[in-house]
Amino acid sequence: MKSLLLSIFLLAAILAKGQRSEFVLENGWKFSKGNFENAAKVGFDDSKWQTVSVPHDWAIYGPFDKEVDKQVVAITQNNENEATEKTGRTGSLPHIGDGWYRTNFHLPALEDGSRVLVIFEGTMSDPEVFVNGGKAGEWGYGYAYFNLDITDMVKADSDNLLAVHLSPKPLSSRWYPGAGLFRKVRIVIEPKSHFELWGTFVTTPFVSDSLAQINIKSKVSGHNLRIETAIKDASGNVLASGAAQTLFGNEFEQNIALKDPQLWSPESPTLYYAESKLYDENGQLQDEQTTRFGVRTISYKAGEGFKLNGEVRKFKGVCLHHDLGPLGAAVNKAALRRQIQIMKDMGANAIRSAHNMPSMEQLELCDEMGMLFLAESFDEWKKPKVKNGYNRFFDEYHEKDIVNLVHATRNHPCIVMWSSGNEVPDQWGSEGVKRAKMLQDIFHREDPTRPVTVGMDQVKAVMESGFGAIMDVPGLNYRTHLYEEAFERFPQGLLLGSETASTVSSRGIYKFPVEKAVGKMYDDGQCSSYDLEYCNWSNLPEDDAVLQDDKDWVIGEFVWTGFDYLGEPTPYDEYWPSRSSYFGICDLAGLPKDRYYWYKSRWNTDESTLHILPHWNWKGMEGDTVPVFVYTSYKSAELFVNGKSMGVQTKNNDSKLERYRLMWHDVVYEPGELKVVAFDDNGKPAEEKVIRTAGEPYRIVLEPDHSTIDADGKDISFVTVSVVDKNGIPCPTATNQLNFKVDGSGTYRAACNGDATSLELFHLPTMKLFSGKLVVLVQSTEEAGDITLQVKGKGLKTGKIILESK
């Protein structure tokens, strides 16, 4: 309440100057599932409704139920010809049905001519918006950003009611979509003369070592105006400035020279700030805004590939769905920051928002942390994949959704490409070609600085129809065996692996015999982490790596996926219980699988990688063969079992698997110590790694990603919980049930163990270890102080850690 009163006071102070203001409607919302006849009315009694904060996902709290959105369907993208029952396809969480949100917000006295907007960044889904009992508008697509002008519906110097009705449909998604107001909601008050929402576009059409041209186009409302802009660095120093007073239609254009620009890149994500002020003919300030941007150049050309700031580089990218594991679809910046950092540590330099419009928070972080971004829009166009998907909205909304996407996000330097669709059924025939060109033309019209791609899985079809030939950047989803033919037939002279690999695995689970397998399933609903299993439409990472490393015209890849996500439990679509994916390089908790180190050994060139798999705890398998793989950035290594050499293995470019993995196939298991010694290019020992057989679980160990978090009620420390034996050796097969307690200036938020077959609810303070680990999320309150996390388990020494919130 204190922060709300402060924001209202500041708002009134700002408005007294006649300038814009905005505030986020975050706390104090009332929510209830169900449909209520008078829920939009001012006098409606919502006192018994749940009080929540937005962003909010009502479905993540469960329970898991295989009857939720049970779909009888043939998934054509998975090469299925016959419809079968799919239980966990959308996560088996209760996201379907009606839900209502209500909140009151106070408006101060408004100047004549002021406009009031409400802005939504993500509403799952089919939102209807009401203000003070009257309907303000509606939208279709749950991932879309949209705004409504509510000036004529609000009361100045008074409280106002905002009510939102959502009604997610069954058969509307191919993965867990979440449910609710899962992204920010804002109120913006614009003065009579103002900068239009999302109406400013900053580009850098000329860049050299000594000079950059900063072009700023600003749409405004009003007459007899003048604009002044100062370019500042992150410390607030003014580096350049400019002014303009000639309007072209309703738009100012400024060209400002910036000397000695620091270019934005993944290695050095320098950001600048354009502070623009709007004055009337009397010199009175009418409005002001700050636009953050970066100085960088991009190009895509045959014979050169993709260039950033004049230097060729390849996309080392991952695809990410929008859910955040145990947090569901509700946006949380700390969780997004953790995801990005884990991927950067692996060596990734790019993210694809598959298959939806990204959150503003994700883009802000990618700007700040240096991550290239492929911003995707739709998973469907006119032709459906699921009955109630985007096909319902396409005719009415496709242009509005693209325009809002581009206008709202185009100043983010991280975005280097747009995607207008993913594996759309419209790839077949001339009708699809026309549709693809129409959508691409809208992107070009709204942003002529970036190219457009589509994730194409029907490669033969798009070669025949011309669909692939018209794309700025032809994106191929899998189909590595068709890369050469597509390159020869498409005119662009380059190809993008817009979606690659789809290798499946469960963290810490190993199956015998160790063999390459397609769509293999086991009685326990897990996949082997030897990283040799994939789907009938995909492939092993090596198939992509060879193309990426050997073909200059392949400009990079986006691996499916960086993290496991809720829903799409392939290959266990028909298996229960299974409610999340197996594709991730990291599991649903964000814990790295073995494959993480395979990618790190190729992508992270700043540090060495040396990783052994599997674990060395195979009670009952003494004397049996247990193959050992090593993922490493070194070319060769020697393996030892209890001090006895298993020989030296060297990477071999003549074999796909041996080119990227060191493998000892005939190791005989005996308990004890497994050690690998890696050699440098001169054949000298450079690094070693040891894993040991563990005894019985004895003690709980807690490792936070951050020991200090912000006291803002939103920041999170992700604490990895594991168990060790009496000698401190990790127990990688432990499945102990643990209980969590948080005291002090924080709260228990959720837990996740990464097990796709677990039906334990994330928000309850108890969970089993999976492959010896899980992650506990500790969230701050708005009070500074110490936070204590205690983790207990039967027969185990308690784990305890103190975090600081400030």
- Which positions are catalytic? 423, 499
CA distance 255 to 241: 9
CA distance 604 to 302: 27
Q: Is 564 exposed, middle or buried (0-12, 13-18, 19+ CB in 10 A)?
A: buried
C-alpha distances in angstroms, 508 versus 74, 505, 518, 609, 615? 31, 9, 20, 18, 8
3-state secondary structure of 597: helix
**CB 730, CB 612: distance < 8 Å:** no
Q: What are phi and psi of 507, to 5 degrees?
A: -55, 125
Q: What share of the chain is helix, strand, coil (3-state, %, to 5)?
A: 15, 35, 45
Q: What are phi and psi of 326, to 5 degrees?
A: -65, -10
Q: Sign of the CA dihedral 526, 532, 537, 541?
A: positive
**CB 416, CB 308: distance < 8 Å:** yes
Residue spans of alpha helices (H) in 243-393: 333-346, 360-369
Written as one string, the DSSP assignment of 150-170 is -GGG--TTEEEEEEEEE-PPT
Q: Where are the beta strands (DSSP E) in 323-461?
A: 350-353, 372-376, 415-422, 452-456
Task: Reduce the secondary structure of 466-531 to three states and give it as a string.
Answer: CHHHHCCEEEEECCHHHHHHHHHHCCCCCEEEEEEECECCCCCCCCCCCCCEECCCCCCCCCCCCC
- Residue the block writes with tokens 């890149």: 265
**CB 475, CB 455: distance < 8 Å:** yes
Q: Where are the beta strands (DSSP E) in 633-760?
A: 636-641, 644-650, 662-664, 673-679, 685-692, 699-704, 708-709, 716-724, 737-744, 746-752
The vertex-404 CA angle with 403 and 407, nearest 5°, equals 80
**CB 86, CB 71: distance < 8 Å:** yes
Centroid of chain to Cα 661 = 29
The encoded tokens of residue 252 equal: 């100012």
* Length of the chain measured in residues: 806
Classify 88 in phi/psi space as left (phi over 0), alpha (psi -120 to 50) or beta.
alpha
**CB 478, CB 540: distance < 8 Å:** no
**CB 754, CB 787: distance < 8 Å:** no
